[in-house]
A = this chain, B = another copy of it.
Amino acid sequence: MTTTDGEHKVLSALHGGGHKVTPQRRAVVRVLARCHRHMTTAELHAAAAAERGDVGLVTVYRTLRLLTDLGLVCQLSADGRQPSYVLRRPEEHHHHLVCSGCGHVVDFTSSDVERLEDRLARETGYRIEGHIVEFTGQCPDCRAGR
């Protein structure tokens, strides 16, 4: 039963924030930490329940909300209907490039986005509050047919 860095970091943050570290939360965090794919609530529930039978779907919803509020997890709006989630790895502000095949997520930062934001503020008079910048594509593996 190996413990990844990311997993440990999240559990510490939970504990430090006065939140209880329960087996269910461990299971969800472990799943998130182990893969670099984005997952929907339902997928996470299935994976977490495979580790520990007693992880309810409702708990997964509540855990994801908590982790998102704490800034430990990023919510991806992209793709289609349901939001999906990935562990937040870089400390600084970043964006995501998501593989439409396997769901693998690449984090990246870009001064282009900040520059664009400045330009928009200047030209429109808006005070920019936030943005969604997400790219989708096929990763090298999926392009090669696995």
Partner of A127, one of B115, B116, B124, B143: B143
Evaluate contact between B127 and A138: CB separation under 8 angstroms: yes
Q: How many residues of A contact B (CB 8 A)?
A: 34
Question: How many of these chains are in the complex?
Answer: 2
Query: A132: CB under 8 A from chain B?
Result: yes
Q: A121-B137, A132-B77, A132-B133 are in contact. Are A116 and B126 (CB under 8 A)?
A: no
What's the nearest-Cβ distance from chain B to residue A90, in Å?
Answer: 15
Query: A47: CB under 8 A from chain B?
Result: no
Query: A59: CB under 8 A from chain B?
Result: no
Q: A6–B120 Cα gap in the complex (Å)?
A: 25
Partner of A126, one of B127, B129, B130, B139: B139
Within A101-140, which residues are at the interface with B (CB < 8 Å)? 106, 108, 110, 112-113, 115-117, 119-121, 124-140
Q: A145–B35 Cα gap in the complex (Å)?
A: 46
**Chain B residue nearest in CB terms to A128:** B137
**Chain B residue nearest in CB terms to A108:** B120
